[in-house]
Structure 1
Amino acid sequence: MKLSKRTAALILLPVLSASAGMMAFSAPAQAAEICGQYDKSTVGTYMVQNNLWNPAGEQCINTTAAGFEVTKADGQVAFNGPPKGYPSMVNGCHYKECSPGTKLPARVSSINSAPTSVSYGYTADGVYNASYDIWLDPTPKTDGVHALEIMIWANKVGPINPIGSPSGTATVAGTTWDVWEQRDGGHKVISFVAPSAMSNLSFDVKDFVKQANDRGFGDPSWYLTSVQAGFEPWQGGAGLKVNSFTSEVN
């Protein structure tokens, strides 16, 4: 994305896209290792991005038939700051590049359902989270940092926490999550942290959007611009896998 994540404990440091305009990203569908800071590939109809936006060393990912694996993850950054990056799979548009055939951006009120699922593979090495990102904006924006980020932390390993402060719990998609909120800065962030490691998630994106709206984060007139599933590593991370990812917008 030329950068996108930033959740850790400070603010997001945006990186500008080199693209001249919005485009649907397409690349060879076969398995491929990518190591460039913002290199991308495709798996099916999804964009896969290395997204090493806060580098501390080299990072590489290898695409698979249905996901990707982090094959190299050098270096470490401070655990009370932002992560090294966000290797991830994307349905939607990110820094002017869009996954093939996506229906996003789309106004939330026009979406009947947005079912999604992700299967994660973990490693004992490193300090990281497994996170699912939902991005929204008052406009059908395809570039830059959008106004609202909803994060779902399926797992966290090591002394890390979401940006902002804890604000209680919420039950969404059959799980009671710890909620963290960040209302200041360049964009607002609300994070839902699982009570214990979850390897598989399946839910309707609209359920988390509604919970965020009910807490004063955005409203149904805003646009869903992308959904993304991957990892934020602070230290190490080789061996982390997205085994599979699906996302629909109906």
Structure 2
Amino acid sequence: MKRLKGIGLAVVLLLGTVVGVATPANAAPVICETFGSTSIQSGRFIVMNNVWGASTPQCIDVNQAGGFTIQSAGHNNATNGAPAAYPAIYAGCHYGNCSTGSSLPMQANNAAFNNIRSSVSYTYPSSGTYNASYDLWFDPTPRTNGQNTGAEVMIWLNRQGPIQPSGSQVATVTLAGATWQVWFGNIGWNVISYVRTTTGTTLDFNINTFYTDAVNRGYAQRNWYLTSVQAGFEPWVGGAGLTLNNFTYTTTGGGGDTSPPTAPGSLTASGTTANSTNLSWSPSSDNT
């Protein structure tokens, strides 16, 4: 996720109704603040700029219907370290900034968890070093603030340049109609990354599809809570032109206690992906 993501959806939500569909990016708002964010579709999705891993500038043009474009970016991070940012759209809670109507946090052993779906559509520029990825956050408690400490499940639809997830590759698996490399690392929490073996521009899937695989591998637990469903980009170099065209999130409800627990005070970090398997890092308490 990074700040407002750690590393490494405007809607009618209830009763299985699709939560958000986007059109090409509108002119406003444009967010250039490091951790600036805005809610769209009456608060059902939140879009964040989230430049947590660099001091270089970045601006995103938010589409009120449910997407965004990186309008400009000056990033030039080393590819064997953390990405510069994680601009993303999400449902749920991220460092106390919560969308409405998501039913999150939700325990993964709740029957309603089986019905959570999301979809995304991306457009990629011809240059830059980046990934296009989901970031699904799980915590042993129904956390609405601070760093999640259970599992971070990343789903990379595309990667460009010499970058790789945290940890090392442990398997290859077919899920949601595609083949994925499975990577695992621990940076204070488990990071399970699914890297598509061929470039993908769209994904429509049940959240439980990937989480069941992570649980079966012993990297996650059924009694942990899903706190947010995020989709965006991790740029290392450049990033201008990366576009999330549309994002959807659907659920039949079933969330539990959402009172915010006390965040652990000992965590420091700033991201979750890296080129070196010996490199250990993650988002700071300002990140998630």
Identity %: 44
- What residue in structure 2 maps to residue 149 of structure 1? 152
Instruction: Tell me the alpha carbon deviations over residues 98-153 of structure 1, each in whole angstroms, 9 at most, x when there is no partner.
Output: 01222100111112311110000101121000001111011101122212100000
Deviation at 1:68? 0.4
Distance (whole Å) between structure 2 residues aligned to residue 163 and residue 212 of structure 1: 15
Deviation at 1:170? 1.3
- What residue in structure 1 maps to residue 139 of structure 2? 137
Deviation at 1:186? 1.3
Matches for 1:33-112 after TM superposition, within 5 Å: 33-44=30-41, 45-64=44-63, 65-110=65-110, 111-112=113-114
Amino acid across the alignment from 1:168: A
Distance (whole Å) between structure 1 residues aligned to residue 116 and residue 238 of structure 2: 33
Instruction: Tell me the alpha carbon deviations over residues 59-95 of structure 1, each in whole angstroms, 9 at most, x when there is no partner.
Output: 0001113200000111211101110010000110000
Contact 2:39 2:47 in 1 (8 A): yes
Contact 2:4 2:48 in 1 (8 A): no
- What residue in structure 2 maps to residue 201 of structure 1? 203
Q: 1:179–1:138: structure 2 CA closer, same or farther, 3 Å change rule?
A: same
Amino acid across the alignment from 1:88: A
Work out which structure has the larger RCO, using CA pairs closer than 8 Å and 6 or more positions apart in sequence: 2
Aligned with residue 222 of structure 2, among 216, 220, 223 = 220
The answer to which of 236-245 and 212-221 deviates more is: 212-221
Root-mean-square deviation over aligned CA pairs: 1.5
Aligned residue for 1:168, secondary structure, equals strand
Distance (whole Å) between structure 2 residues aligned to residue 158 and residue 151 of structure 1: 18
Runs of 4+, deviation exceeding 4 Å: none
Distance (whole Å) between structure 1 residues aligned to residue 27 and residue 237 of structure 2: 29
Distance (whole Å) between structure 2 residues aligned to residue 58 and residue 181 of structure 1: 31
- Say yes or no: does 1:5 pair with 2:42: no
Contact 1:56 1:74 in 2 (8 A): no
Contact 1:75 1:235 in 2 (8 A): yes
- What residue in structure 2 maps to residue 172 of structure 1? 175
- What residue in structure 1 maps to residue 238 of structure 2? 236
Distance (whole Å) between structure 2 residues aligned to residue 115 and residue 242 of structure 1: 17
Contact 1:170 1:177 in 2 (8 A): yes
Contact 1:5 1:85 in 2 (8 A): no
Distance (whole Å) between structure 1 residues aligned to residue 4 and residue 101 of structure 2: 22
Aligned residue for 2:109, secondary structure, equals helix
Distance (whole Å) between structure 2 residues aligned to residue 30 and residue 98 of structure 1: 24
- What residue in structure 1 maps to residue 266 of structure 2? none
- What residue in structure 2 maps to residue 119 of structure 1? 121
- What residue in structure 2 maps to residue 26 of structure 1? none
The answer to which of 81-90 and 64-73 deviates more is: 64-73
Distance (whole Å) between structure 2 residues aligned to residue 196 and residue 171 of structure 1: 12
Distance (whole Å) between structure 2 residues aligned to residue 223 and residue 249 of structure 1: 15
Amino acid across the alignment from 2:3: K
Distance (whole Å) between structure 1 residues aligned to residue 251 and residue 220 of structure 2: 19
Contact 1:47 1:100 in 2 (8 A): no
Mark the runs of 5 or more structure 1 residues left unpaired by the alignment.
8-28
TM-score of the aligned structures, taking structure 1 as reference length: 0.88
Distance (whole Å) between structure 2 residues aligned to residue 98 and residue 133 of structure 1: 16
Distance (whole Å) between structure 2 residues aligned to residue 134 and residue 159 of structure 1: 23
Amino acid across the alignment from 1:148: A
Amino acid across the alignment from 1:5: G
- What residue in structure 2 maps to residue 17 of structure 1? none
